[in-house]
Amino acid sequence: MSEKCNGNCSECSSDCAEREIQKEKPHKLSKIKKVYGIVSGKGGVGKSLITSLLSVGMSRKGKKVGIMDADITGPSIPKAFGLIDKAEGTEEGILPVSSETGIKIMSVNLLLDDVTSPVVWRGPVIAGVIKQFWQEVIWGELDIMFIDMPPGTSDVPLTVFQTVPLDGIIIVTSPQELVSMIVTKAVKMAEMMKIPIVGIVENMSYFKSDDGKIHMIFGESRLEEFAGDNKLNIIGRIPIDPKIAEACDKGNMERYNGEVINDISDNFLKLIQK
């Protein structure tokens, strides 16, 4: 215990034995069976894309799925699902917006009038919004909630780890990121927070040309070696695919039919049912 302990762990970063992380309860009208965070070492590696692909995949398997877009300063989930409607509030709480196929979504972009305005809030404010997304949104019944986590290892992802009772995380990386230490930091953060890592997805892994040839644009993948060194399961490899980018950027994620959706969803299901 730290000498100056006042019993409030949320004000202290000491990693003492007595530290008890108080996870918050969701809204009383929410019944969420499992929660998984999608994590990356930095932005732009495809975290939102993998969140969307897994959500669509699990929804196609008949699961009731929700997505909490906790990437407050770079929210891209509403756009990937082509959502235009704003979230509405009732006296009881905030209602998520349902996508075309019934995936429930909450994002800061569903609350702001002008989605092009940058969110220039400081860490504690952002952390407060994420807490509200967990406690004040009426998610209803969900089999699985995916949280598109804020990138990196700052205080904001830390708040999510401390607030939401995560059943596990999925780490998204790119071939270039694997050679840096950024992704190792994300792995270590999850280990320090004692959150199980379901597995790792390598995005932009390769490019398949029309003649069926595989091109390793960023050189040979180090995924197997990295997964082996860190004792991680591999959930899948996603190619660079203009059709994925188009589906994501035009709001057609739910109409995308690439086989990668099935592959990563099947692997993910197997790993969480182990």
List residues near ligand ADP by CB under 6 A: 40, 43-49, 74, 76, 203-204, 238, 240-241, 244-245, 248-249
Quote the least distance from Cβ 44 to ligand ADP, whole Å.
Answer: 5
Q: Which is nearer to ligand ADP, 30 or 48 (CB)?
A: 48
Q: Which is nearer to ligand ADP, 69 or 138 (CB)?
A: 69
Quote the least distance from Cβ 217 to ligand ADP, whole Å.
Answer: 11
Quote the least distance from Cβ 29 to ligand ADP, whole Å.
Answer: 29
Angle, to 10 degrees, between the axis of helix 259-273 and the axis of helix 47-60?
80
Alpha helices by DSSP H, listed for the chain, are 47-60, 77-80, 123-135, 155-163, 175-178, 182-192, 223-229, 242-249, 259-273
User: What distances in angstroms separate CA 49 from CA 8, 108, 241, 244, 268, one per listed residue?
Assistant: 37, 17, 12, 8, 15
Pairing of β 141-148 and β 168-173: unpaired
Closest CA to 82 of 122, 59, 52: 52
d(CA 256, CA 50): 13
Rounded to the nearest 5°, which phi and psi values hold at 147?
-110, 115
Q: Which is nearer to ligand ADP, 30 or 205 (CB)?
A: 205
Q: Which is nearer to ligand ADP, 95 or 240 (CB)?
A: 240
Rounded to the nearest 5°, which phi and psi values hold at 110?
-90, 0
Quote the least distance from Cβ 112 to ligand ADP, whole Å.
Answer: 18
Quote the least distance from Cβ 101 to ligand ADP, whole Å.
Answer: 19
Q: Which is nearer to ligand ADP, 107 or 203 (CB)?
A: 203
